[in-house]
């Protein structure tokens, strides 16, 4: 997709060994548009937004599974918050003292179903 042509990709692994490949949204345009207006295509369209405490689903054509991770995403990072099936037109935010240091992972729903990603779980970065 053109909006992510220059974006780096990371591979996140669950504790069970499942992989999620995500584009890293670093530019203002990539962060603002995110996955909006794209067709849903499962885990293949995951997006990692560094230093992000809240996301919106305005302009989305499908629901999202949203995971807030500890930031910076190191070789091993903790899942802080999971919101599954966030419908278009919503806002989701991480709250509390840890919210200063988070990244958001967006995956078209139900892309994270059955991957065992829950608060307190760990994801590793390949």
Q: What is the pLDDT of residues 58-76, one digit of tens each?
A: 888 889 999 999 887 777 8
DSSP per position, 27-39: SHHHHHHTTTTSP
C-alpha dist (Å) from residue 32 to 17, 29, 44, 97, 110: 31, 5, 19, 25, 22
Topology of domain 2-125 in CATH is Jelly Rolls (2.60.120)
The pLDDT > 90 percentage for the chain reads 34
Cα angle 105, 108, 114 (rounded to 5 degrees) comes to 85
Q: Is the pLDDT of residue 3 over 80?
A: no
Which of the two residues, 73 and 22, has the higher pLDDT score?
Answer: 22
Q: Where are the domains of the chain?
A: 2-125
DSSP per position, 6-23: T--EEEEE-TTS-EEEEE
What's the whole-number mean pLDDT along residues 43-56?
A: 85
What's the whole-number mean pLDDT along residues 102-120?
A: 87
Q: What is the pTM of this model?
A: 0.88
Residue 126 binned pLDDT confidence (cut-offs 50, 70, 90): confident
- As a whole number of angstroms, the distance between CA 35 and CA 30 comes to 9
Say how many Å lie between the first and final Cα of the chain, rounded: 23
């Amino acid at each position: 997709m053109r909006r992510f042509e220059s974006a780096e990709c990371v591979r996140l692994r669950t504790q069970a060994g499942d992989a999620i490949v995500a584009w890293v949204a670093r530019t203002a345009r990539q962060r603002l548009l995110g996955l909006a207006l794209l067709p849903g295509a499962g885990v293949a369209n995951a997006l990692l937004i560094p230093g992000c405490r809240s996301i919106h689903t305005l302009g989305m054509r499908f629901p999202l599974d949203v995971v807030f991770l500890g930031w910076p995403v190191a070789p091993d990072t903790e899942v802080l918050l999971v919101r599954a099936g966030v419908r278009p037109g919503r806002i989701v935010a991480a709250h509390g003292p840890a919210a200063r240091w988070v990244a958001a992972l967006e995956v078209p729903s139900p892309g994270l179903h059955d991957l065992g990603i829950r608060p307190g779980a760990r994801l590793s970065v390949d």
